[in-house]
Amino acid sequence: MSDNTSAHAHAAPLIGGTPLTWDDQGTGRPFLLLHGGAGPGSVLPFATLLARHGRVLTPTHPGFAGRPRPDSLDSIPGLASVYLDLLQQLDLCDVTVVGNSLGGWIASELALRDPSRIGRIVLVNAVGIHVDGDATEIADIFALHPDQAARLAFHDPSARPDPAALTSDELAAAAANRTAAAVYAGDPYMHDPELRRRLRSVEVPVLVAWGRQDGIVTPAYGRAYAESFAAARFELVEDAGHFPQIEQPTRLLGLIREFAGDTARPVHSL
Task: Give the predicted TM-score (pTM) of the model.
Answer: 0.93
Domain ranges of the chain: 8-261
pLDDT score for 7: 77
- Using pLDDT thresholds of 50, 70 and 90, give the confidence band for residue 269: very low
Alpha-carbon distance of 115 to 253, in angstroms, equals 23
Which one, of 149, 130, 128, lies nearest residue 139 by Cα?
A: 149
CATH superfamily of 8-261: Alpha/Beta hydrolase fold, catalytic domain (3.40.50.1820)
53-92 pLDDT per residue, tens: 999 999 999 999 999 999 999 999 999 999 999 999 999 9
- Using pLDDT thresholds of 50, 70 and 90, give the confidence band for residue 133: confident
220-234 pLDDT per residue, tens: 999 999 999 999 999
Q: What is the residue-wise DSSP string for the chain? A: --S----EEEEEEEETTEEEEEEEE--SSEEEEE--TT-GGGTHHHHHHHGGGSEEEEEEPTTGGG----TT--SHHHHHHHHHHHHHHTT--SEEEEEETHHHHHHHHHHHH-TTTEEEEEEES--B----SGGGPPP-TTTS-HHHHHHHH-SSGGGS--GGG--HHHHHHHHHHHHHHHHHHBTTBTB-TTHHHHGGG--S-EEEEEETT-SSS-HHHHHHHHHTSSS-EEEEETT--S-HHHHSHHHHHHHHHHHHH-TT--S---
Q: What is the mean pLDDT of the chain?
A: 92
